[in-house]
Structure 1
Amino acid sequence: MRERPDRRDVMSATVLPLLLVAGEYDSVAPPERVFTVDKPNVTQAVIQGAGHMSMMEAPKELARMVEDMVEMVGKVFGLKQQKKYAEALWEIDDLLSKNFRLNTRLLNSLSVEDIIDMFRLSGGVEADKLQTVARLLQEEGGVYKDMGEADEALRRFMKSLHLYLYADLNGAQRSMLQLQDRVAELKDEVKGYRLPVKTEKILLSYEEKEGRFDEAENVLFRLLNQREITEEEGVSFYERLLEREDEALNQGGLPRSEVLEGMETLRRRINA
C-alpha cells in the first residue's frame, strides 16, 4: 500500500465533494498525509482510536448508520401515506447530509461513476456506505413515484440499482439492508425500460452469481444485440455454466441442453 502512486493531484483538481477519512493511529496513511487538500468541497474526518482498518475497527459507526436508515424509512413511509411528499424528501435529504455531507440535488447530478469514486478508500470501495446511498436513492424514487413523477422516479431507481449491484460485487454486507430484496424491487421498477450498458454488465454478473441463469442469459443477449460484448465473452459465459451440476442449471432455468444450444449459436456467429 505504501508504494501506491500519489493521487493528491486528482483530489486537488476535482470539484466533486470529497470526504477524507483517516484513523487517528493509522501509521500507513496517517491524518497528516491524508489531509493535504483543503478546499470548500473537502470534508476531513478522523475516526478516533482507529488505525488503518478503521471501518473494521469502528463498527459502531456502521451500526449507527443502519439505525438512522431504519428510522428514516419508517418516517418516509408514514409521510407518503399522508401524502406529505415535501416532508418525506426532506427526511431523505437530512439523512444524506448527516451521514455523507451531501444533498439529494448534488447526488442526483452526479453519475454513478462519480458517486462510486467518492467512496473509494485505500484502493477499495466502502461498499456498505455505497449501498446506504443506494437505499436513499431508492426511497427518494419511491416518493417521486407516489407523486406521479415517473421520469424522476425512474432516474433514481436506475441509479440506485447500479449502486446496489456494484456494492454487492465489492463485498457489501447483504443482510445490512436486505440487498437482494432491494435489487428485486428495483428490477421490477425498471422492468420494460432499457438499462444503461454499464448496469447491464454488472447485472449479468449478479444474476449468474445468484444462480438465475435464464435471467443472466437474457441480459447476455441484450448486450450482444447492442454489440456491447463479444460472442467470445458469451461463449465463456456458457462454458462457466457447463461446470455447474445439472440440478443447479435446472433450478436456474437453463437446462444443460439449452446451455449447449446457446453456446453453439454463438460459435456459429463467430465462424460466420
Structure 2
Amino acid sequence: MFQRDYFMRMINQMTEALGQVMGLRKQMKQEEALLVLDELLDKHFRLSSKLIRSLSDEDLMKMMTTNGIVDTNQLQAIAILMKQEALLHGELGRETEFYAMCVRSLRLFIRLSLMKAEPTIVEPDGEIEELLELTRSYELPVPAKRLLMAWYESKGRYDQLENVMFELVEARALPAADAALVYDRLLALDDEELAAGGLPRDEIRQGLEELGLSGEDNRTKE
C-alpha cells in the first residue's frame, strides 16, 4: 500500500512539474525550466542531480536495484527528465548538451523496453522513436547502437537491426563473428516472421556471405 501511494504521488508530482516545464518553455524561460528539473531530480531520487548526470545507464540501473529488482518507475522518471533537459538545451542552442542528454535518455528508454517495464507517464517505445528522430542527424555512439540492435531484434524489426549491425561491423566496432551469431538466431525463425521483419531468409544468407568475404579482418584475435 505504501509503495503504491509513493508511486502515485511521484507520478502526480512528475506530471505537475512537467506541466510547469512546458509552461516555462512556452514563455521562453528555458533556464528557469532547467532549475525546475534540477529541483525535481534532487527531491525525488536517492541521488543528487549532479550524481545522476555523471552515472552511466548501467550504474544508474545498479543504484536503482534492490534485492535484485530494478525500480523501473524511478528509471523511467529519470529518462523522462533527461529528455526534457535535452529539449531545453536544444532550444538554447547548446548542441553538445542536447546530444548528450538525448543519448542518455535513449539508452535508458531502450533498457526499460528490453526489461518490458510497464509504462507510467510515457510509453518507452514511443519515446525511443522520438529520440531517434531527434538524433537522426547525429552519429550515435557504439554502446547506444549495440543497445539499439537488441531493441530492433526484440521488436522484430530485422531489417533495421541489420542496418545498425553492418554500421558497427564496417566501423570495426562489432566482430564479424558476432554479427554471424545474430544471423544464426534469425535463421532459426519462421519465413513469415522474417518477411514481416523486412529481412527475408535469402537476404540473411546474402549477409552471411558478405561477412565471409569481407569479415575476416573484423574477427577478434584471441
Q: TM-score, normalised by structure 1?
A: 0.72
Q: Does 1:167 align with 2:167?
A: no
Number of residue pairs aligned between Structure 1 and Structure 2: 217
- Residues 149, 66 of structure 1: alpha-carbon distance in 2 compared, 3 angstrom cutoff: same
Q: Report deviation, 1:210.
A: 1.0
Q: Which residue of 2 aligns with 1:133?
A: 78
Does the Cα contact within 8 Å between 2:110 and 2:125 map onto a contact in 1? no
Counterpart residue type for residue 113 of structure 2? D
- Residues 97, 187 of structure 1: alpha-carbon distance in 2 compared, 3 angstrom cutoff: same
- Greater CA radius of gyration, 1 or 2? 1
Q: Report deviation, 1:205.
A: 0.5
Does the Cα contact within 8 Å between 1:66 and 1:176 map onto a contact in 2? yes
Normalized per residue, the structure richer in strand is: 1
Find 1:190's aligned residue among 135, 141, 157. Answer: 135
Q: For residues 212 and 7 of structure 2, what CA distance do their matches in structure 1 show?
A: 48
Find 1:146's aligned residue among 83, 88, 91. Answer: 91
Q: For residues 69 and 211 of structure 2, what CA distance do their matches in structure 1 show?
A: 35
Q: For residues 8 and 172 of structure 2, what CA distance do their matches in structure 1 show?
A: 43
- Residues 109, 271 of structure 1: alpha-carbon distance in 2 compared, 3 angstrom cutoff: closer
Q: For residues 110 and 173 of structure 2, what CA distance do their matches in structure 1 show?
A: 19
Alignment of structure 1 residues 205-220 onto 2, 5 Å: 205-220=150-165
Q: Which runs of 5+ in 1 are unaligned?
A: 1-48, 51-57
Q: For residues 59 and 111 of structure 1, what CA distance do their matches in structure 2 show?
A: 28
Find 1:234's aligned residue among 160, 179, 182. Answer: 179
Q: Which residue of 1 aligns with 2:40?
A: 95
- Residues 83, 118 of structure 1: alpha-carbon distance in 2 compared, 3 angstrom cutoff: same
Find 1:74's aligned residue among 9, 14, 19. Answer: 19
Counterpart residue type for residue 178 of structure 1? E
Q: Deviations over 1:50-102 (max 9, x none)?
A: 7xxxxxxx233222222222222222112101101122112212221221044
Normalized per residue, the structure richer in helix is: 2
Q: For residues 126 and 134 of structure 2, what CA distance do their matches in structure 1 show?
A: 13
Q: Which residue of 2 aligns with 1:155?
A: 100
Q: TM-score, normalised by structure 2?
A: 0.86
Secondary structure of the structure 1 residue equivalent to 2:32 = helix
Q: Report deviation, 1:178.
A: 0.8
Superposed CA RMSD in Å reads: 2.2
Task: Say which is worse superposed, 125-134 or 97-106, in terms of deviation.
Answer: 97-106
Does the Cα contact within 8 Å between 1:127 and 1:171 map onto a contact in 2? no
Counterpart residue type for residue 162 of structure 2? E
Q: For residues 192 and 19 of structure 2, what CA distance do their matches in structure 1 show?
A: 41
Q: Which runs of 5+ in 2 are unaligned?
A: 218-222
Q: For residues 103 and 82 of structure 1, what CA distance do their matches in structure 2 show?
A: 28
Counterpart residue type for residue 218 of structure 1? N
Q: Deviations over 1:107-148 (max 9, x none)?
A: 323333332332122234222311211111001111111112
- Among all aligned residue pairs of Structure 1 and Structure 2, give the percentage whose two residues are the same amino acid: 34
Does the Cα contact within 8 Å between 2:11 and 2:120 map onto a contact in 1? no
Q: For residues 146 and 73 of structure 2, what CA distance do their matches in structure 1 show?
A: 21
Q: For residues 59 and 100 of structure 1, what CA distance do their matches in structure 2 show?
A: 16
